[in-house]
């Protein structure tokens, strides 16, 4: 199970949010995230808010869709009562956990509830995450028929011993099957990879990239393994059973990924994400990086509307008790002040390829740009004419590896 909640203020039982959240809402996209907190087994590296069957304390997975729908309906009432204009969802994302542990018709019911309650814009991106061993062709066809447009498979690695260290249960040879089924069903495909697993070599990582690229997905994510406190992996490293991932080797992994993906026709658009073209970028995740509005449905889900952020109670039993009683499942919230919103704006926009306009930085932040160009961390604009010298910051490859350091310098005050 995940760690403690963020520090914030108590959330009201009626869920109402401050009127300030409505300011400018007509200019912001609105997305819906639905968290399905169930997994067949717990991977040793994972600190997401997920639960196996033995951890549910009497909660039935079969009841979950109905509970989530109650929150979807309540969300619309809360937004209206808080003065936030109704907007159809431009993206819907089912994450977890493993959403596809639920029967396909349960995901369909939740999607229909979003459509019936908020509306969904024409051409919206509608994604579900899935493990390669949790779907078949019939399942994916049912999702497509209901309006899903995209599936993101947690491939992680193509090397069995790396998967074993991560405690992933699927056979890597299953990946070509599920990608083929998704294509046959008419869904766009993303593959998620993890690099830096203890004991993973550069050749292991090359093999995983080669295997992923050979499936010709529309989108590939490659995330550096982070050892989170409280996980089984952290305990194994502390006991000396596994070796802490090496930062220099992880940088080598990233550079190899960028080179191989670039050669295969994928362009980076966020530090950890590559797509075949702009149309296949993850619009839902871009909405996070651009500080758009979204409502997170489910245990432990986070939401953000107009600078107000809140998070739900974590355990499915507590969540069920709240929504069945007609109360907001929110456990806490915070209203971001101007300084925090600016920090987050710089932090998030710097990570995406379009970057951040230099003119919007503080005067001292703008003075850092020349030094960052000189240090090779941001593009000087001489290649494509649209980076820093032309008014927009775009990270170089080295800058992506040192993105946090770049942000610290841009936030100089």
Burial class of residue 138, CB neighbours in 10 A (0-12, 13-18, 19+): exposed
**What is the pLDDT at residue 234?**
86
Same domain, 236 and 364: no
**pTM (2 decimals)?**
0.95
pLDDT confidence of residue 301: 98
In a domain, 306, yes or no: no
| Structural domain of 251 | 9-289
pLDDT of residue 47: 82
Does 1 fall in a domain?
no
Cα 267 from Cα 281, distance rounded (Å): 10
Residue pair 44/105 in contact (Cβ under 8 Å)? The answer is no
- Clarify whether residues 159 and 261 are in a common domain: yes
Rounded Cα–Cα distance for residues 317 and 185 (Å): 35
Q: Which two tokens stand for residue 265?
A: 């026709």
Total residues belonging to the chain: 413
Q: Which residue has the tokens 């593959």?
A: 191
Q: List the chain pLDDT tens, one digit each, 413 residues.
A: 455 667 788 999 999 999 999 999 999 999 999 999 999 888 888 888 899 888 888 899 999 999 999 999 999 999 999 999 989 999 999 999 999 999 999 999 999 999 999 999 999 999 999 999 999 999 999 999 999 999 999 999 999 999 999 988 888 999 999 999 999 999 999 999 999 999 999 999 999 999 999 999 999 999 999 888 888 888 998 899 989 888 999 999 999 999 999 999 999 999 999 999 999 999 999 999 999 999 999 999 999 999 999 999 999 999 999 999 999 999 999 999 999 999 999 999 999 999 999 999 999 999 999 999 999 999 876 555 456 666 889 999 999 999 999 999 999 86
Same domain, 134 and 258: yes
Tokens at 170, concatenated: 């699927």
The pLDDT assigned to 290 comes to 95
Q: Which of 3, 5, 70 is nearest to 34 (CA)?
A: 70
CATH number at residue 358: 1.10.10
pLDDT of residue 390: 65
Shared-domain flag, residues 275 and 344 = no
Q: Indicate if 280 and 361 belong to the same structural domain.
A: no
Is 299 domain-assigned? no
The single-letter DSSP state of residue 238 is H
Residue 208: its pLDDT value, please?
98
Domain total of the chain:
2
**Cα(196)–Cα(202) distance, integer angstroms:** 9
């Amino acid at each position: 199970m995940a760690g403690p909640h963020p520090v914030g203020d108590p959330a009201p039982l009626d869920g109402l949010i401050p009127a300030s959240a409505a300011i400018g809402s007509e200019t912001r996209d609105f997305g819906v995230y639905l968290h399905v907190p169930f997994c067949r087994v717990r991977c040793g590296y994972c600190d997401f808010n997920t639960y196996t069957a033995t951890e549910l304390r009497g909660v039935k997975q079969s009841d979950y869709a109905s509970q989530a729908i109650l929150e979807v309906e309540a969300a619309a009432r809360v937004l209206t009562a808080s003065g936030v204009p109704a907007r159809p969802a431009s993206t819907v994302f089912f994450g977890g956990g493993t959403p596809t542990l639920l029967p396909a018709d349960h995901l369909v019911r939740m999607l229909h509830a979003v459509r019936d309650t908020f509306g969904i814009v024409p051409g919206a991106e509608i994604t579900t995450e899935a493990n390669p061993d949790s779907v078949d062709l019939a399942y994916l066809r049912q999702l497509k028929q209901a309006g899903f447009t995209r599936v993101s498979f947690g491939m992680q690695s193509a090397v069995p011993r790396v998967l074993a260290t991560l405690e992933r249960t699927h056979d890597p040879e299953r990946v070509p099957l599920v990608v083929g089924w998704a294509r046959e069903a008419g869904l766009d495909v993303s593959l998620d990879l993890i690099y830096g697993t203890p004991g993973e070599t550069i050749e292991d990582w090359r093999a995983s990239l080669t295997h992923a690229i050979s499936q010709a997905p529309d989108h590939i994510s490659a995330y550096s393994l982070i050892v989170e406190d409280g996980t089984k992996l952290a305990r194994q490293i502390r006991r000396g059973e596994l070796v802490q991932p090496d930062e220099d080797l992880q940088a080598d992994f990233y550079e190899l990924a960028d080179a191989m993906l670039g050669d295969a026709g994928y362009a980076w658009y966020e530090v950890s994400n590559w797509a075949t073209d702009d149309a296949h970028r993850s619009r839902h995740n871009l909405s996070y990086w651009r500080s758009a509005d979204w409502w997170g449905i489910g245990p432990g889900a986070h939401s953000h509307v107009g600078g107000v952020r809140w998070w739900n109670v974590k355990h499915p039993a507590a969540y069920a008790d709240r929504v069945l009683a007609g109360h907001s499942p929110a456990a806490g919230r915070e209203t971001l002040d101007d300084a925090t919103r600016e920090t987050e704006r710089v932090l998030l926009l710097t990570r995406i390829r379009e970057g951040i306009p230099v003119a919007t930085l503080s005067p001292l932040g703008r003075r850092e740009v020349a030094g960052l160009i000189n240090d090779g961390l941001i593009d000087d604009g001489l290649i494509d004419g649209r980076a820093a010298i032309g008014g927009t910051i775009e990270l170089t490859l080295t800058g992506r590896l040192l993105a946090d350091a770049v942000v610290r310098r841009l936030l100089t005050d």
